[in-house]
């Protein structure tokens, strides 16, 4: 019997993060069949989805003279500037066609505020504005979270670390994640998760 106190959180398995997408993560689509299979082990499945307005401040195109993957100072700190991606309502923002979205109990759309990016499933990048996911999980009596998805070193890492900081028991299955690995970001993410008490499998 599936443990009702545990949930699977699948992060951003979207077309723009898969091969051919605007911000493709190498082999991003390779995790889809196994993520689908893993869903059967959990009573609760949550999917997250980057869902940006077209004028989002995290897009390099919004900063004159800037290029994707450079950084800029925002009101909430340093921010990587990304290629335009996961624009609300577009094919790129849609979940990968192979992902079994019907199994989801909840879909969290993040990054909708044009002035603040949101890597984490729990908070925007100001580290204080909540998405509402914590409250949903608490009211369901869920205390243990398993994370998979894209990308390991950004949205998966931030989500897992925030979950641990909030007091959840957290694990990340690395072979069901894929990384961007921007200037050593994967190694940094693994250190950050370990320091936060996240079990990395």
Cβ contacts of residue 170 below 8 Å, gap of 6+? 144, 145, 146, 147, 160, 163, 164, 196, 197, 198, 199
The active-site residue, picked from 12, 16, 29, 50, is 12
> Is position 155 annotated as part of the catalytic site?
yes
* Inter-residue contact 179 to 152 (CB < 8 Å): yes
The active-site residue, picked from 18, 86, 155, 157, is 155
Residues 11, 27: Cα–Cα separation, whole Å: 15
**Bridge pairing between strands 6-11 and 71-74:** unpaired
Beta strand ranges found along 6-50 (DSSP E): 6-11, 44-50
Residues 177, 182: Cα–Cα separation, whole Å: 15
The active-site residue, picked from 110, 117, 153, 177, is 110
Known catalytic residues?
12, 110, 155
């Amino acid at each position: 019997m599936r443990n009702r106190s545990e949930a699977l959180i699948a992060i951003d398995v979207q077309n723009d993060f898969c091969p051919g997408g605007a911000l493709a993560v190498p082999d991003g689509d390779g995790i889809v069949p196994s993520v689908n299979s893993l869903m059967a082990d959990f009573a609760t499945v949550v999917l997250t989805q980057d869902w940006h307005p077209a004028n989002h401040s995290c897009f390099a195109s919004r900063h004159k003279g800037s290029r994707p993957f450079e950084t800029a100072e925002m009101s909430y700190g340093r921010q990587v500037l990304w290629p335009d991606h996961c624009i609300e309502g577009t094919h790129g923002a849609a979940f990968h066609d192979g992902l079994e979205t019907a199994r989801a109990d909840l879909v969290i759309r993040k990054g909708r505020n044009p002035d603040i990016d949101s890597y984490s499933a729990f908070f925007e990048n100001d580290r204080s504005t909540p998405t509402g996911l914590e409250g949903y999980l608490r009211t369901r009596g869920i205390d243990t979270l398993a994370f998979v998805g894209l990308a390991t070193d950004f949205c998966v890492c931030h989500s897992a670390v925030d979950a641990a900081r909030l007091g959840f028991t957290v694990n990340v299955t690395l072979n069901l994640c894929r990384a961007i690995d921007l200037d050593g970001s994967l190694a940094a993410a693994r250190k950050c998760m370990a320091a936060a008490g996240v079990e990395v499998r």
